[in-house]
Amino acid sequence: MAIREIVYMGDPVLRAPAEDVTVFDKDLGALIRDMFETMYHADGIGLAAPQVGLSLRVIVVGLRGHDDGELEQQPLALVNPIVTWESKEVAKQSEGCLSIPGLEEVVQRPVSVRVEAKDPDGNDIIVEADDLLARALQHEIDHLDGILFIDRVSMLKRRMLLKKWKKIEAEASVDTG
Ligand code: NI
């Protein structure tokens, strides 16, 4: 297992539509284990393969305990996931992204979704999710289509976020010399 390097907004891999996985082999298993390790190390609740520089349709999600007493969810690794149903009911909640550290904004999304995917062994699975898990799945599946959460806020908020990101980027490059 290894912690992989997370790529940041500005890297073209985050904007490219990712490719379907066609081979379910040991390499895929190793990638998924690394993605979990990378996600937990970065204290995230979800990670998509493009965020570690690989344009493949693979996501992992791992929710832990929450303040509101919501139960922990089993860690999920989904390959070639597709949202096949979403609720009409929507909710607004603040989101962040490991590829855009330092930025957060409220994003509106359907409260519930059904996702069809393969598991790491290539078996069909269906996940029905609500609330935070549904939100995490939608956020990660967006990554596979080159979509970031800042694309799902108003133009005005997006402009403010991009301005803030430029500042964060500039400070980071000063820090590293
Ligand atoms: Ni993200």
SS (H, E, C) 82-115: EEEEECCCEEEEEECCCCCCCCCEEEEEECEEEE
> Which protein residues have their CB within 5 A of the ion that is ligand 1?
97
Please tell me the distance between residue 20's alpha carbon and the centre of ligand 1 in angstroms. Answer: 19
Please tell me the distance between residue 145's alpha carbon and the centre of ligand 1 in angstroms. Answer: 12
Could you give the number of structural domains in the chain?
1
Please tell me the distance between residue 170's alpha carbon and the centre of ligand 1 in angstroms. Answer: 21
Inside any domain, residue 137: yes
pLDDT, tens only, 65-116: 555 555 566 799 999 999 999 999 999 999 999 999 999 999 999 999 999 9
Inside any domain, residue 1: no
Residue 65's pLDDT is 57
Inside any domain, residue 114: yes
Residue 128's pLDDT is 96
- Provide the percentage of residues in the chain whose pLDDT is more than 70: 92
Report the relative pairing of strands 76-86 and 58-61 from DSSP bridges.
antiparallel
Residue 34, helix vs strand vs coil: helix
pLDDT (mean) for 140-169 = 97
Residue 137, pLDDT above cutoff 90: yes
Please tell me the distance between residue 25's alpha carbon and the centre of ligand 1 in angstroms. Answer: 26
Inside any domain, residue 7: no
Please tell me the distance between residue 45's alpha carbon and the centre of ligand 1 in angstroms. Answer: 9
Tokens of 115: 């996702």
Inside any domain, residue 19: yes
Inside any domain, residue 41: yes
Residue 145's pLDDT is 98
CATH number of domain containing 61: 3.90.45.10
Which of 14-28, 31-45, 67-81, 158-172 has the lowest average pLDDT? 67-81
Residue 67's pLDDT is 57
Question: Of the residues 72, 104, 105, 140, which is catalytic?
Answer: 140
Residue 74's pLDDT is 75
User: Between the CA atoms of 84, 48, 15 and 9, what dihedral angle is there, to the nearest 10 degrees?
Assistant: 140
**140 in active site:** yes
Rounded to whole angstroms, the Cα distance separating 12 from 9 reads 8
State the average pLDDT for the chain: 93
Its domain, for residue 36, covers 12-176
Please tell me the distance between residue 176's alpha carbon and the centre of ligand 1 in angstroms. Answer: 24
- At residue 173 the predicted structure's pLDDT band, cuts being 50, 70 and 90, is confident
Inside any domain, residue 39: yes
